[in-house]
């Protein structure tokens, strides 16, 4: 490599890089230039040019946002998700470093597996005093109901992950262990694919190892633990749900691995087996990959207040009928106090020293160690032994005198809860935030999975995270860190991926969990509701702004009917319906509310929020392209929310954009979602909503005969909002009239939005659900649909169109609409009770105290 | 002494229960002075699954599940238990071990049985608390024996807390019990355990039954007995020594042990989850009768 050439351009990128630095850097040696393993990457950056890198960095962020890559922040109710930040400059790990890391991590995984096995087995570590019993017994991660439960095979620890950093001695250290449900590997995958797509130039002359092999190994490991050596087990990924911080990753991994994404309520325990509730009934589950913390997994035997688990799960696990990875109880390995006793455990199980050093740790549960921590509090980091204790890690040196006294008091009161760790300055790596590279503290999360014999396979890469601020020591997703792709320097080019390429679960019939079915159904319904409402309100708004209000008697009568219809279809009574003089005198205010107020039930934004929630909950079902559209819809939503009443005219374009977005989402979904129960549910929801919206409109606008010009305007609006005006003109070639309008809207089988066509569609879908398992008979739902279908087919338009001569009311039509509305609502309710089983459970009461005294 | 125990629990559900899982801790232990001759747990409607196992603490747990719709559940546990006088209390009475020494022995890990260590730590119903420590402090003077300490603590709790049902539930924090000065036997037990653990001493929760005698000249009423709870304290070289703070007495042959645990959570007689939307009522009857 030509060093001369490189230094010039890199100098502009790194200008001032070392101005505050006193710590090691991953890429640059102080005043010496870049390390060998980084030189190719820096050359590639140089060839790309700084200006181009800036552009790519923005594109990278845009792509991730469009792909819906997020990290949720708990308690952030306004914005459900936060964008994931990815730096365009990867972290490069030299082949030499990696050899040590890999050997060391495999050694550590081996020992942790042994520890886990021992703690839920013989507990020789406690009996022999290698680990103090209090350290284990005081930790909420030690789950007594899980004692003696074993997974088949050599491994209790299926997945293992640890955070690594480079210490001041230039060695890589273990910072913490993650052993119950390690997160981040999905983000690592997504980071790689995004970087590869947006900045492929950086990869030139690099043999960056692919990540796919690791996931094959992971699938193999999951198959290994299946009960009774089942060859083709059903594997599910258990998520706490869309509100969880890493929900994106759960959905992403589930689709990548081809396994079913489930929540606790999708599963039940019965006959000591675990089953998934699907629209086809119950299907047996063999392996659960969990992302739910272990204490939340079974409200019967573990945390009673959990709503995320499966009551009775432990019973099925004990019987060996279902395997959970990582096993329940493995969070005991995340006890930070264990760090202080790892040397002993390495010696006990391997008679070796740890290859990778770890942070010096003092557990306060021992008198001498507690005294040491208190005496040296200024140079230590104080942590809880529990990950989710509510105690925020603090650096003693950052505390005021009174804070320090308070902390010491707490430590003395419950010493076993705290550890002190030496405060270490870790290395930085270059991040490209705007103009030039800046050093940021860096942590690498590495991943291992159970392999052959007692060994482990390691991901050749990982998830690198950097501190969000220059000079800040905090590196965590909760605080908004920046992530990096991770490149392990390979000395040779990989030929093929190791391990089998099969995705085992694909051989199984895909199942649709009831909850997913329900979400898809509601995505269908809400999509149509938003489209329909937008379209209608748009027509009303146009009328309002064009004619002005109350200029002309007839105009104002038709407007009044239109406004009332708005109230009817959005279900926002009283609105324009009753005693609405005030509303009618200034209708724009109410219309503005019905579009832009997300708090108002029935408003467009309100429904849109529900739609986005349902989309998000079913996110493993959408393609990347669909996500891009969803992201666009989110953008439009934000702009609609910002519209002021005075600026309501701007809302036209926004409503158009919203409808266009939703229509392309519908199109995309229709073409990409293969014919399956999921598609049936989605389409069924759409059809039901369409019909309900139409009928509400018809009932409000057509069931009263009015003065000719008013009637004309109303018919025009109805046809317009159903996008039938031009077909009316081409089919009937008459002026607008009630009889042909009813024919077109209800009966015309050529018109895809006629009630008849939609019922035909609904009949087909309801029969496809009824005819499962070779059944050829209708079920209750398809019978109900058929009933509606027949009524419409046999309807007598002449009779329905007839108006009472005195009152002008078309009573028959009114009744007909109302009856259909009611029947379709019943169908919707039946669907929900048949296919979306809702189970609520509660705890058996206990006698209020044992009441006894001699 | 031989006892025949009948423990009946009945649930009535307002809405049908489609599925119910229950974890029963109703089978008396067999231990040094106690032999569980027989125990039969009858459940109606008959559950679809019944599985016995031994838990972490050595107690017998029965797991039952019903998948058929039901609107009531009856659980009858009938057992025959032989009991001899507890000897540990006598041995503890003549032991001169100082409470401070036991505390230090516990603090110096490794000297004690690893299992005992967990009974000095807080648990769900038994927190570390300054208030409770202050309450216990004067029972454990410098140089007091563990035996005297426990005795005066039991006495103090007995005279400070009024036995009164209806003021507390299974989830009333033990600090509130101390404030209310009212409670039932498990509140007495939790409070005494909390005091001991806050002093650094190992203590555990005992769940079981106690034989009662009718007022003089009256017939004993059917179903008038009850489940009971008391405390065991660990004495080095002796083992677990039991105290009944609700009655201010040392259990001898009238206390029948069902299970041990850290607190109520580990050994609740019946813990369950029902899939149902409605409420429920519960009734419990216990009979403890001597068999001659």
Interatomic CA distance for residues A495 and A812, integer angstroms: 75
**A195 and A123, same structural domain?**
yes
Dist CA A314 CA A327 (whole Å):
10
Q: Per the omega criterion (within 30 degrees of 0), is the bond before B26 cis?
A: no
A14: helix, strand or coil: helix
Cα atoms found within 13 Å of the Cα of residue A115, Cβ hemisphere only: 28
What residues in B contact A302, CB-CB < 8 Å?
none
CATH number at A417 reads: 3.30.1490.270
Supply the DSSP string of A628-665, one letter for each residue: HHHHHHHHHHHHHHT--GGGGGGHHHHHHHHHHHHHHH
Residue A506: per-residue pLDDT? 46
Using left for φ > 0, alpha for ψ between -120 and 50, and beta otherwise, residue A550 falls in left
Same domain, A323 and A345: no
- ipTM attached to this prediction: 0.94
pLDDT given for residue A620 in this prediction: 86
Would an 8 Å CB–CB cutoff place A412 in contact with chain B? no
Least confident span in A118-127, A642-651, A657-666, B120-129: A642-651
Nearest-Cα distance to chain B for A847, in Å, is: 7
User: Residue A25's Cα: distance from chain center in Å?
Assistant: 35
Residues of A in contact with B245 (CB under 8 A): none
Arithmetic mean of pLDDT, A579-599: 86
Query: In sequence order, which residues have a C-beta less than 8 Å from that of residue B113 and are 6 or more positions away?
Result: none
Q: How far is B228 from chain A (nearest CA, A)?
A: 6
Residue A490: which of A32, A96, A35, A45 has the closest Cα?
A: A96
Q: Is residue A346 part of a domain?
A: yes
Do A659 and A628 share a structural domain?
yes
B229 to chain A, closest Cα gap in Å? 8
Whether residue A535 sits in one domain with residue A468: no
Name the strand (E) or helix (H) holding A742: helix A738-742
**A688 and A831 belong to one structural domain:** yes
Average pLDDT over residues A629-636: 92
Residues of B with Cβ-Cβ distance to A139 under 8 angstroms: none
Residue A668 and residue A546 share a domain = yes
- pLDDT for B241: 97
**How far A355 CA lies from chain B's nearest CA (Å)?**
28
Region A544-553: mean pLDDT is 63
pLDDT top residue among B87 and A76: B87
How many Å apart are CA B174 and CA B171, to the nearest integer? 9
Residue A853 at interface with chain B, using a CB cutoff of 8 Å: yes
Q: Which of B10, B15, B51, B56 to mutate to test the interface with A (most CBs of A within 10 A)?
A: B56
Q: Inter-chain contact A843–B246, Cβ cutoff 8 Å?
A: no
Tokens of A676: 């399956």
Q: Give domain status of residue A850, yes or no.
A: no
Task: Choose the closest CB to A844 out of B227, B249, B274.
Answer: B274
Q: How far is CA A516 from the centre of its chain?
A: 13
Q: Is the pLDDT of residue A494 over 70?
A: no
Given pLDDT bands bounded at 50, 70 and 90, which one contains residue A687? very high
Residue A130 lies in domain: 1-210+341-359+427-496
A629: burial class by Cβ within 10 Å (0-12, 13-18, 19+)?
buried
Question: Tokens representing A471?
Answer: 């000079």
CA distances from A713 to A545, A710, A746 (A): 15, 5, 19
Domain boundaries, chain B: 2-83+268-291, 88-265
User: Percent of chain A having pLDDT more than 70?
Assistant: 91
Does residue A690 sit in the same domain as residue A830? yes
Torsion B121-B123-B128-B134 (CA) sign: negative
The Cα-based distances of A83 to A89, A195, A483 in angstroms read: 18, 16, 11
Question: Nearest 10 degrees: CA dihedral of B284, B123, A339, A454?
Answer: -10
β-bridge pairing A428-431 and A438-450: antiparallel
Domain boundary among A423, A446, A461: A423
Domain boundary among A373, A400, A423: A423
**Residues A528-551, mean pLDDT to the nearest whole number:** 84
Question: Which helix (DSSP H) or strand (DSSP E) does residue A173 occupy?
Answer: strand A172-178
Choice among A72-81, A826-835, B273-282 with the minimum mean pLDDT: A72-81
Dihedral over alpha carbons A673, A676, A682, A686 (to 10 degrees)? 100
Residues in chain A: 854
Within B163-228, residue ranges assigned H as helices are 174-180, 185-198
Contacts of A594 (CB under 8 A, 6+ apart): A537, A566, A570, A572, A575, A600, A602, A603, A604
Question: CB–CB of B170 and A137 under 8 A?
Answer: no
Query: How big is chain B, counted in residues?
Result: 292
Q: Among residues A152, A153, A512, which one has the least CA distance to residue A321? A: A152
Element holding A615 (H helix, E strand): helix A604-617
Q: In this complex, do A134 and B67 lie within 8 Å of one another by their Cβ atoms?
A: no
- Is residue A680 located within the same domain as residue A658? no
| Among A134, A312, A846, beta carbon nearest to B117 | A134
The chain-wide mean pLDDT, for chain A, equals 89
Give A851 to chain B, closest Cα distance, Å.
6
Reading chain B (292 residues) residue by residue, the pLDDT tens digits are 999 999 999 999 999 999 999 999 999 999 989 999 999 999 999 999 999 999 999 999 999 999 999 999 999 999 999 999 999 999 999 999 999 999 888 777 555 578 898 999 999 999 999 999 999 999 999 999 999 999 999 999 999 999 998 889 888 999 999 999 999 999 999 999 999 999 999 999 999 999 888 878 887 766 667 789 999 999 998 999 999 999 999 998 999 999 999 999 999 999 999 998 888 999 999 999 999 7
- pLDDT above 50 (res A207): yes
- Residue A769 within any structural domain of the chain: yes
Q: Same domain, yes or no, for A17 and A71?
A: yes
Do the Cβ atoms of A842 and B273 come within 8 Å? yes
Q: Which residues pair with A445 in a beta bridge?
A: A163, A463
CB atoms within 10 A of CB A546: 8
Q: Which tokens belong to A409?
A: 């008091």
Which chain B residues have a beta carbon less than 8 Å from that of A318? 53
| A505 found inside a domain | no
* Co-location of A61 and A192 in the same domain: yes
Helix ranges (H only) for A206-308 are: 212-224, 247-257
Residue A258 domain flag: yes
* Helical residues (DSSP H) of A327-427, grouped into ranges: 342-350, 367-375, 401-413
Distance separating alpha carbons of residues A80 and B206, to the nearest angstrom: 48
Cβ within 8 Å, pair B273-A843: yes
Give the model's pLDDT for residue A721. 93
For the ranges A8-12, A191-195, B112-116, B275-279, which has the lowest average pLDDT? A8-12
Compute the Cα dihedral for A555, A558, A564, A565 and give only its sign. negative
Q: How many domains does chain A have?
A: 5
Residues 27-86 of A with CB under 8 A from B: none
Kindly state whether residue A218 falls inside one of the protein's structural domains: no
Asked whether residue A355 carries a pLDDT value surpassing 70, the answer given is yes
Asked if the structure places residue A816 within a domain, the reply is yes
Report the C-alpha gap between A619 and A613 in whole angstroms. 10
The answer to whether the CB atoms of A138 and B122 lie below 8 A apart is yes
pLDDT over 50 (residue A851): no
CATH topology of domain B88-265: C8orf32 fold (3.10.620)
Nearest CB partner across the interface for B185, out of A123, A299, A852: A852
* Tens of pLDDT, residues A119-152: 999 999 999 999 999 999 999 999 999 999 999 9
Residues A530 and A658 in one domain: yes
Q: Give the CATH fold of the B2-83+268-291 domain.
A: Immunoglobulin-like (2.60.40)
Q: Are residues A769 and A694 in the same domain?
A: yes
pLDDT grade, residue A160 (50/70/90)? very high
Instruction: State the pairing for strand pair A287-290/A323-325.
Output: parallel
Q: Which residues pair with A261 in a beta bridge?
A: A237
């Amino acid at each position: 490599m030509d060093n001369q050439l490189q230094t010039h351009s890199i100098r502009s990128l790194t200008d001032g890089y070392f101005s505050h630095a006193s710590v090691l850097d991953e890429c640059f040696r102080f005043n010496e230039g870049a390390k060998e393993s980084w030189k190719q990457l820096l050359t590639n950056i140089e060839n790309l040019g700084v200006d181009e890198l800036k552009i790519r960095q923005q594109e990278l962020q845009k792509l991730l946002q469009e792909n819906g890559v997020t990290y949720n922040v708990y308690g952030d109710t306004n914005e459900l998700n936060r964008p994931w930040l990815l730096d365009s400059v990867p972290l490069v790990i030299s082949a030499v470093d990696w050899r040590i890391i890999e050997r060391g991590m495999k050694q550590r995984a081996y020992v942790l597996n042994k520890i886990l096995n021992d703690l839920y087995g013989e507990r020789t570590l406690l009996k022999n005093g290698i680990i103090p019993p209090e350290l284990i017994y005081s930790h909420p991660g030690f789950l007594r109901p899980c004692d003696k439960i074993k997974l088949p095979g050599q491994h209790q620890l299926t997945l293992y992950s640890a955070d690594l950093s480079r210490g001041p001695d230039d060695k890589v250290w273990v910072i913490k262990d993650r052993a119950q449900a390690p997160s981040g590997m999905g983000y690592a995958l997504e980071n790689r694919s995004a970087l590869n797509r947006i900045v492929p130039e950086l990869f030139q002359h690099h043999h960056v190892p692919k990540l796919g092999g690791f996931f094959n190994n992971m699938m193999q490991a999951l198959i290994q633990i299946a009960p009774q050596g089942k060859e083709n087990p059903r594997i599910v990924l258990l998520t706490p749900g869309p509100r969880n911080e890493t929900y994106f990753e759960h959905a992403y991994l589930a689709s990548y691995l081809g396994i079913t994404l489930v929540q606790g309520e999708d599963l039940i325990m019965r006959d000591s087996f675990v089953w998934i509730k699907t629209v086809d009934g119950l299907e047996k589950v063999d392996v659960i990959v969990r992302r739910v913390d272990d204490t939340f997994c079974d409200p019967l035997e573990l945390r009673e207040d959990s709503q995320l688990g499966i009551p009775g799960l432990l019973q099925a696990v004990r019987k060996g009928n279902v395997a959970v990875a990582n096993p329940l109880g493995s969070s005991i390995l995340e006890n930070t106090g264990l760090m202080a006793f790892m040397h002993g455990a390495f010696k006990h199980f391997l008679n070796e020293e740890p290859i990778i050093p770890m942070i010096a740790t003092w557990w306060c549960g021992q008198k001498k160690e507690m005294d040491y921590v208190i005496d040296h509090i200024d140079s230590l980091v104080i942590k809880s032994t529990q990950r989710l204790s509510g105690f925020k890690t603090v650096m003693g040196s950052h505390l005021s005198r009174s804070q320090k006294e308070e902390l010491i008091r707490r430590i003395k009161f419950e010493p076993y809860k705290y550890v002190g760790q030496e405060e270490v300055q870790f290395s930085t790596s270059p991040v490209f935030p705007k103009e030039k590279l800046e050093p940021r503290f860096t942590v690498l999360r590495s991943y291992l999975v159970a392999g052959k014999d007692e060994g482990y396979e390691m991901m050749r890469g990982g998830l690198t995270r950097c501190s969000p601020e220059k000079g800040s020591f905090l590196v965590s997703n909760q605080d908004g860190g920046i992530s990096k792709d991770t490149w392990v320097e390979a000395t040779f080019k990989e030929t093929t991926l190791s391990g089998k390429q099969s995705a085992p679960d694909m051989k199984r019939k895909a199942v649709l969990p009831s909850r997913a079915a329900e979400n898809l159904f509601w995505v269908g319904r809400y999509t149509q509701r938003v489209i329909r409402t937008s379209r209608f309100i748009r027509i009303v708004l146009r009328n309002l702004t064009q004619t002005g209000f109350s200029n002309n008697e007839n105009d104002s009568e038709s407007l009044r009917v239109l406004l009332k219809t708005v109230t009817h279809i959005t279900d926002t009574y009283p609105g324009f319906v009753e005693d609405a003089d005030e509303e009618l005198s200034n209708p724009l205010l109410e219309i503005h509310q019905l579009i832009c107020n997300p708090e108002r039930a029935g408003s467009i934004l309100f429904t849109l929020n529900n739609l986005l929630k349902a989309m998000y909950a079913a996110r493993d079902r959408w393609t990347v392209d669909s996500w891009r559209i969803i992201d666009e819809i989110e953008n439009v939503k934000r702009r609609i929310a910002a519209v002021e009443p005075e600026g309501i005219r701007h809302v036209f374009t926004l409503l158009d954009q919203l409808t266009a977005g939703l229509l392309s989402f519908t199109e995309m979904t229709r073409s990409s979602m293969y014919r399956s129960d999921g598609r049936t549910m989605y389409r069924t929801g759409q059809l039901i909503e369409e019909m309900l919206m139409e009928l509400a409109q018809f009932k409000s606008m057509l069931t009263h005969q009015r003065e000719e010009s008013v009637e004309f305007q109303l018919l025009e609006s109805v046809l317009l909002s159903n996008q039938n005006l031009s077909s009316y003109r081409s089919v009937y070639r008459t002026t607008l009239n009630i009889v042909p309008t009813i024919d077109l809207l209800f009966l015309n089988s050529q018109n895809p939005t006629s009630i008849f066509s939609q019922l035909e569609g609904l009949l087909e879908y309801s029969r496809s659900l009824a005819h499962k398992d070779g059944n050829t008979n209708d079920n209750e739902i398809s019978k109900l649909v058929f009933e509606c279908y027949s009524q419409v087919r046999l309807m007598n338009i002449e009779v329905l169109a007839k108006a009472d001569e005195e009152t002008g009311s078309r009573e028959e039509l009114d009744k007909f609409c109302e009856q259909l509305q009611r029947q379709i609502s019943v169908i919707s309710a039946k669907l929900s009770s048949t296919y979306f089983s809702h189970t609520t459970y509660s705890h058996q009461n206990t006698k209020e105290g044992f009441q006894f005294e001699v | 002494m031989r006892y025949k125990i009948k423990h009946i629990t009945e649930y009535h559900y307002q809405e049908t229960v489609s599925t119910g899982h229950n974890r029963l801790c109703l089978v008396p232990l067999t231990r040094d002075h106690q032999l569980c001759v027989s125990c039969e747990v009858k459940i109606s409607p008959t559950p679809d699954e019944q599985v016995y196992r031994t838990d972490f603490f050595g107690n017998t747990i029965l797991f039952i599940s019903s998948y058929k719709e039901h609107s009531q559940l009856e659980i009858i546990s009938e057992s025959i238990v032989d009991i001899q006088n507890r000897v540990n209390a006598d041995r503890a009475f003549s032991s001169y071990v100082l409470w401070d020494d036991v505390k230090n022995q516990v603090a110096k890990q490794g000297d004690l049985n690893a299992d005992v260590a967990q009974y000095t730590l807080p648990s769900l119903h038994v927190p570390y608390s300054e208030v409770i420590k202050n309450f216990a402090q004067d029972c454990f003077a410098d140089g007091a024996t563990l035996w005297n300490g426990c005795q005066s603590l039991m006495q103090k709790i007995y005279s400070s807390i009024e036995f009164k049902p209806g003021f507390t539930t299974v989830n009333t924090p033990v600090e509130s019990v101390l404030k209310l000065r009212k409670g039932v036997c498990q509140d007495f037990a939790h409070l005494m355990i909390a005091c001991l653990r806050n002093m650094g001493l190992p203590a555990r929760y005992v769940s079981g039954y106690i034989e009662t005698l009718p007022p003089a000249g009256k017939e004993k009423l059917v179903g008038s007995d009850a489940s009971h709870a008391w405390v065991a304290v660990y004495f080095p070289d002796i083992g677990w020594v039991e105290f009944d703070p609700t009655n201010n007495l040392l259990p001898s042959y009238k206390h029948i042990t069902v299970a041990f645990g850290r607190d109520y959570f580990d050994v609740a007689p019946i813990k369950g989850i029902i899939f149902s939307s409605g409420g429920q009522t519960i009734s419990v009857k216990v009979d403890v009768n001597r068999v001659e």
